[in-house]
Amino acid sequence: MTDDVVPRPGPRGPDPDCELCAADRFTHWYSEDDHCWVADCEACSVPMVVWNDHGTEPSEAEIEHMMRSLSSAADARFGPGRWKIDRTMRQVPEHFHAHARDDQWWSQRLTRPLSLYSGVGGERVEHRMGQQH
Ligand SMILES: [Zn+2]
Ligand SMILES: [Zn+2]
């Protein structure tokens, strides 16, 4: 693969121990641009927007941009009005990110099949339970 993500250095630069800076591509990626990327969270299986910079204080304009990117991913996944933005940063408090959660995310987080990375913005493909490959 030649398209490994190289984090854009922010004011503090990428943190080698930060999983969001690493930006590993395991799950479905909805979009990416110069400010952020949107992919399914590996823990919650819902869309999550992640700032390209390691830090907690993006500008208002960047936050607006990120919420727009997250919204289009969540609308496509759940349908408009069927999800809410959650900006609480539980697992990685040092790196700005936000989840789009539908009503069922909590009850289904362990049983929902995880999506697979299949290129940015492509069709969303899920692991099938009990099936090889
Ligand atoms: Zn980071
Ligand atoms: Zn999550």
73 CA to centre of ligand 2 in angstroms: 15
Instruction: Convert the pLDDT of each residue in 36-73 to its tens digit.
Output: 999 999 999 999 999 999 999 999 999 999 999 999 99
Q: Is residue 103 part of a domain?
A: yes
Looking at this protein, which amino acid is placed at residue 17? D
Structure tokens at 133: 């490959």
80 CA to centre of ligand 2 in angstroms: 20
- As a whole number of Å, the end-to-end CA separation of the chain is 20
Number of separate domains in the chain: 1
Q: Note the ligand closest to the C-alpha atom of 23.
A: 1
* pLDDT on residue 133: 46
- Taking the C-alpha atoms of residue 47 and residue 39, their distance in angstroms, rounded to an integer, is 5
11 CA to centre of ligand 1 in angstroms: 12
Q: What is the pTM of this model?
A: 0.86
Q: Is residue 132 part of a domain?
A: no
Q: Note the ligand closest to the C-alpha atom of 90.
A: 2
* pLDDT on residue 48: 98
More confident residue, 84 or 11: 84
Q: Is residue 94 part of a domain?
A: yes
* pLDDT on residue 110: 87
Q: Is residue 30 part of a domain?
A: yes
102 CA to centre of ligand 2 in angstroms: 12
Q: Is residue 133 part of a domain?
A: no
- Taking the C-alpha atoms of residue 30 and residue 33, their distance in angstroms, rounded to an integer, is 11
Q: 87: domain range?
A: 19-115
Confidence of residue 13 (pLDDT cuts 50, 70, 90): confident
Query: From the DSSP assignment, how many helices (H) and strands (E) are in the chain?
Result: 3, 7
Q: What is the DSSP letter of 114?
A: P
CATH number, residue 23 = 3.30.428.10
Percent of the chain with pLDDT over 90: 80
